[in-house]
A and B are shown apart, each in its own frame.
Chain A
């Protein structure tokens, strides 16, 4: 059974870059037909899709964040990463990495989530 684990700083200063990594275990990013995705949840709020990456490196981003987001993949380390630049307090959220089954476009596995607070 695939497992995903987010890692990265829990506190980021305004205007800096948020960087998170998702480590996948129990399955290979390079194998199978999946997107690998980032989703965030503002405190006490709903879910917001950030973007997807395929094993080849092809990406899809939410236009609301597109100018600030970069998602990358390292199949040799079985990891994918999120960078969000020029953060503000509005980017404070729990960030989830997850796996999307390509054939049905549903999210079948989620990481536990990591809270990132933007504060000076």
Chain B
């Protein structure tokens, strides 16, 4: 199985400040079809997860541009340019390059 490792596991951010979450995979997520199947989800308290970013850096429909994704191969990053109270959530990366699909442990983002 591909192991997805997120750091940090928790993050306390002053409102208006940026936040960055790292996700590293145990093997490259670049598929032979040329796509990199790495996506990011956020799960707000008491809610289901929701898609933020797919294929490393593509924002899903309706996702504000304060969220951005970057990376390649085995190293990926989710950035929030200016954290707001509504961004309090657990953020997960997921690989769907190889079965079984696997998630990172999650990074809890809180407001200071």
Contacts and interface: CB of A to CB of B under 8 A. Distances in A.
Contacts, number: 53
Given A47-B92, A48-B103, A49-B100, A104 B35 contact: yes
A108 B103 contact: no
Contact of B103 (A47, A96, A100, A112): A47
A88 B55 CA distance: 36
B105 interface: yes
B105 A46 contact: yes
Contacts of B7: none
Describe B's contact surface by its main secondary structure: loop
A96 B102 contact: no
B51 A106 contact: yes
Interface in B48-71: 48-51, 54-55, 58, 60
B41 interface: yes
B48 A96 contact: yes
Given A47-B103, A48-B103, A106 B96 contact: yes
Contacts of B55: 104, 106
A96 B58 CA distance: 24
A109 B106 CA distance: 19
B39 interface: yes
Given A47-B49, A96-B48, A110-B49, A104 B54 contact: yes
Interface of B: 35, 37, 39, 41, 48-51, 54-55, 58, 60, 92, 94, 96-97, 99-106
Interface of A: 46-49, 60, 62-64, 96, 100, 104-108, 110-113
